[in-house]
Structure 1
Amino acid sequence: MPLLKNQLTTSFPFKNPHVNTIYKFFTAKDKPDYKRVRVNTWDNDFIDLDFLPNNSFSLIVLIHGLEGSSQSSYMISTANYLHNLGYDVMCINLRSCSGEDNNILKTYHAGKTDDVHFILKYVEENYDYQNIILSGFSLGGNLTLKYLGEYENQIPSVVKGGIAVSVPIDLTSSQAELSKLKNKLYMQEFLRTLKAKVNLKAQKFDEFNPDKRLIARASSFRDFEEIYTAPVFGFDSPEDYWEKASSKPYLKNIEHKTLLINAKDDSFLSIECYPYELAENSSNFFLLTPKYGGHVGFVSSFNDQSYWIEKQFVNFIQNELNIYA
């Protein structure tokens, strides 16, 4: 019965999910002094990893959300908090998200777990960590959950568990939610950078020749998946991509202790993204659904120093996984 009941106490106006979301997205403080490691991949590309070392035997891996990076405010806040407690932290910058375009036409998508597995194997083989906790936010959370279910029998033994925050575990219904008027501002911002990346890829690769008018007119994720994700990654359609990339079907396969935190007021998420029944009947899949928090927000006030989401990380890591720095 791993349904957790920890609640976030918020003040006006942070009971409004959009205030909570936007405030967190644009308030990054105390940028970490990351140590960057570039890892060459099997397909003549690279993935940039940003470390905050502490000489700990325990490493927390963080994966950002759509069009984020290690410099995203939620990544910075979580990385700093965990690092200050003595943990080593590693932020995975998904392909094309590290500040430099990657080498090949393919970048990343919500279900591309082969990159996650490659990086975890790299860390296992090149570092001396005894414990690794895999965690992610939004799209990165979907990657975390899908990986833990999809690769369950291949996961390196040093990986002890997972944490996922604000996760659209059902991409079909979540993209429909994001296409609603209430989320227009977020959709425009996501598409602004995605369109720029697609145009850049079209300039660099002759085999990729999308209609520039369609790119300019794209106003939804479906438009973008039809122009780029589906054809480039070999999906039959945007619907095929959403179905195959969603983490929800893999949750039942997860044997590592794993925590999912989805706020009930998250405007990005559909009702299908709250797997209460699965958590109620599981001994290792934990679900926490606070009333407030927005999408990757979880801010309590304008002078927020509560670190609510970061404390949930630590509570789970120490109390459920029994892992300390």
Structure 2
Amino acid sequence: MTPFEPIPSARNPHLQTIMPRLMRRQPVISPLWQQLDLPDGDFVDLAWTQTPQPGQPIVTLFHGLAGSFHNPYANGLLAAFQRQGWCGVVMHFRSCSGRLNRVPRTYHSGETQDARYFLTTLRMRYPQHPIHAVGVSLGGNMLVRYLAEYADDPIVSSGCAVSPPLDLAACSLRIQQGFSRVYQAYLLRSMRQTLSDKLTRHAQVGRWQAGEQPRISTLFEFDQTVTAPLHGFEDAHHYYQQCSGLSVLPAIRAPLTIIHAKDDPFMTDAVIPTTPLPANIRYQLTDHGGHVGFVTGHWRAPRLWLEEAVPAWIAEQLDT
């Protein structure tokens, strides 16, 4: 994995964070869509690069908050996996694929049950295929929690977590400050709309009743009134305490690489591990890169470094 070097005149963290969306306004591949039915009667949607060929490595991707295949990092990474000769697939968290799910339950940074069912299904259907996993932002923290929870049988041979909010409480406060509030507002627009749509189908979602117009102005308020009550937590603070990934890193046994940028506008230094990590975890902290940005090259030919670095890590694991 080569070190990240930003475009010299584009070191600003907000520029790094926003540039991928300016560079890539349309997905670079057309996926194959598949619905995976879940044990509770609900479903998740999968976006595949192709049908897996015999023995072909499968790389799964777990997206970020309110994300989907259409995010530049998601379809870009899938295309990068395809160029390596691998099969890529995005597992969309509930109600993130463009289709509203059947039950009030949704997803969060520590919700590993849907990922477990999905990966178990992959192992059953494709027993001869190596399986690796990548998690981005919220999906990265979820992947960390998953690898710790299922340390004895993770199914995946390795993991990569990009810009994971490993201290959820600190990140919830950070995104309410300065220019980062712009990102919060962007995320909340989608999340409030999904909540409103759910309230047309269900009598109650979290603390909100059908017919109410949710007034939520921060991610903390969303977690306090939706995420926490919907998933059995006492409140947002309890959710953050129980689901942050930082404290469970020592429990992980699978090879894992974590990529953080010091200037990530969604994070604080609280997400950076301060105690020695086990030998199976590689931690890469860059000075620049923003949040899931990492734009390198030069202005005439910018490149998304993650599309080089993440496949390089997986290829290294496939060779061991």
Distance 1:235 1:115 in 2: 18
Q: Quick one: percent identity of the two aligned structures?
A: 27
Distance 2:299 2:190 in 1: 28
For 2:319, the equivalent position in structure 1 comes to 322
Distance 2:269 2:213 in 1: 31
Q: What is the 5 A alignment of 1:206-217?
A: 206-208=203-205, 210=208, 215-216=214-215
* CA 1:182–1:30: 2 relative to 1, 3 Å: closer
User: Displacement of 1:240 after TM fit?
Assistant: 0.5
User: Displacement of 1:44 after TM fit?
Assistant: 0.5
The alignment's TM-score, normalised by the length of structure 2, stands at: 0.92
Matched, 1:83 2:82: yes
* CA 1:101–1:60: 2 relative to 1, 3 Å: same
User: Displacement of 1:276 after TM fit?
Assistant: 4.8
DSSP-derived class of the 1:196 partner: helix
2:197 to 193, 200, 216: 200
Native 8 Å contact 1:265 1:291 kept in 2 = yes
User: Displacement of 1:33 after TM fit?
Assistant: 1.8
Native 8 Å contact 1:111 1:245 kept in 2 = yes
For 2:168, the equivalent position in structure 1 comes to 171
DSSP-derived class of the 1:277 partner: coil
User: Displacement of 1:30 after TM fit?
Assistant: 4.6
* CA 1:122–1:210: 2 relative to 1, 3 Å: same
For 1:35, the equivalent position in structure 2 comes to 32
Which residue identity is paired with 2:202? F
For 1:251, the equivalent position in structure 2 comes to 249
* CA 1:19–1:143: 2 relative to 1, 3 Å: same
For 1:59, the equivalent position in structure 2 comes to 58
User: Displacement of 1:128 after TM fit?
Assistant: 4.0
Matched, 1:283 2:279: yes
Deviates more, 1:309-318 or 1:57-66: 309-318
User: Displacement of 1:319 after TM fit?
Assistant: 2.5
2:232 to 234, 237, 244: 234
Distance 1:276 1:308 in 2: 26
Runs of 5+ unmatched residues, structure 1: none
* CA 1:277–1:119: 2 relative to 1, 3 Å: same
Matched, 1:299 2:298: no
DSSP-derived class of the 2:204 partner: coil
Which residue identity is paired with 2:116? H
Runs of 5+ unmatched residues, structure 2: none
DSSP-derived class of the 1:219 partner: coil
Native 8 Å contact 1:51 1:88 kept in 2 = yes
Which residue identity is paired with 1:37? Q
Distance 1:306 1:50 in 2: 24
For 1:187, the equivalent position in structure 2 comes to 184
Native 8 Å contact 1:10 1:292 kept in 2 = no
Native 8 Å contact 2:142 2:245 kept in 1 = yes
Matched, 1:70 2:66: no
For 1:140, the equivalent position in structure 2 comes to 139
- CA shift digits 1:267-308 (9 cap, x unpaired): 1111111115333xx210100111111000111244444341
Distance 1:61 1:37 in 2: 14
Native 8 Å contact 2:94 2:101 kept in 1 = yes
User: Displacement of 1:315 after TM fit?
Assistant: 2.1
Distance 2:42 2:226 in 1: 19
DSSP-derived class of the 1:266 partner: coil
Native 8 Å contact 1:60 1:132 kept in 2 = yes
Native 8 Å contact 2:158 2:255 kept in 1 = yes
Native 8 Å contact 1:29 1:77 kept in 2 = no
Which residue identity is paired with 1:60? V
Native 8 Å contact 2:151 2:251 kept in 1 = yes
For 1:272, the equivalent position in structure 2 comes to 270
- CA shift digits 1:40-83 (9 cap, x unpaired): 00111001111112625211111110001011111111111110
User: Displacement of 1:174 after TM fit?
Assistant: 0.9
Q: Between Structure 1 and Structure 2, how many residues are aligned?
A: 314
Native 8 Å contact 1:8 1:291 kept in 2 = no
DSSP-derived class of the 2:230 partner: helix
Distance 2:301 2:115 in 1: 32
Distance 1:120 1:135 in 2: 12
Which residue identity is paired with 1:237? D
* CA 1:36–1:176: 2 relative to 1, 3 Å: same
Native 8 Å contact 2:68 2:92 kept in 1 = yes
The alignment's TM-score, normalised by the length of structure 1, stands at: 0.91
DSSP-derived class of the 2:208 partner: coil
